[in-house]
């Protein structure tokens, strides 16, 4: 049961990572329509990387444990993006959830 709940949490963290990447991309420029383009591009880059490298059904030779760790690294990068856009509390909470989720995933297999 813990593993299933943790997988559900991981999915929510993945969605939050996409949102955090978009937030970071949006705040790279001070104003203008390019903010929206960068927001979509940042989220797309994270999503495509996730689909190719991290997703459980991605067709690559990476073993499950390294995939979990790579995914956690990507999510932590999006948390850094939140911190860089003056969201330190949200970034910290997000990072803690990512780390706890990763620990449980590693322990439960």
**Domain residue limits at 76:** 2-108
Structural domain count of the chain: 1
Q: What is the pLDDT of residue 11?
A: 95
Average pLDDT over residues 86-108: 96
Average pLDDT over residues 30-38: 93
- Taking 90 as the threshold, does the pLDDT of residue 80 lie above it? yes
Over the stretch 43-78, which tens digit does the pLDDT of each residue have? 999 999 999 999 988 888 999 999 999 999 999 999
Q: Distance (Å, rounded) from C-alpha 67 to C-alpha 62?
A: 6
Q: What is the pLDDT of residue 56?
A: 85
- Please, what's the largest Cα pairwise distance for the chain? 47
Q: Distance (Å, rounded) from C-alpha 97 to C-alpha 82?
A: 14
């Amino acid at each position: 049961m813990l593993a299933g709940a943790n997988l559900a949490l991981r999915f929510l963290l993945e969605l939050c990572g996409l949102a955090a990447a978009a937030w970071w991309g949006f705040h790279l420029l001070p104003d203008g329509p390019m903010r929206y383009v960068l927001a979509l591009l940042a989220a797309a880059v994270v999503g495509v990387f996730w689909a190719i490298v991290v997703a459980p059904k991605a067709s690559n030779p990476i073993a499950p444990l390294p995939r979990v760790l790579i995914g956690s690294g990507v999510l932590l990068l999006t948390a850094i993006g939140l911190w860089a856009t003056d969201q330190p509390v949200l970034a910290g909470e997000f990072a803690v959830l990512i780390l706890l989720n990763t620990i449980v995933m590693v322990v439960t297999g």
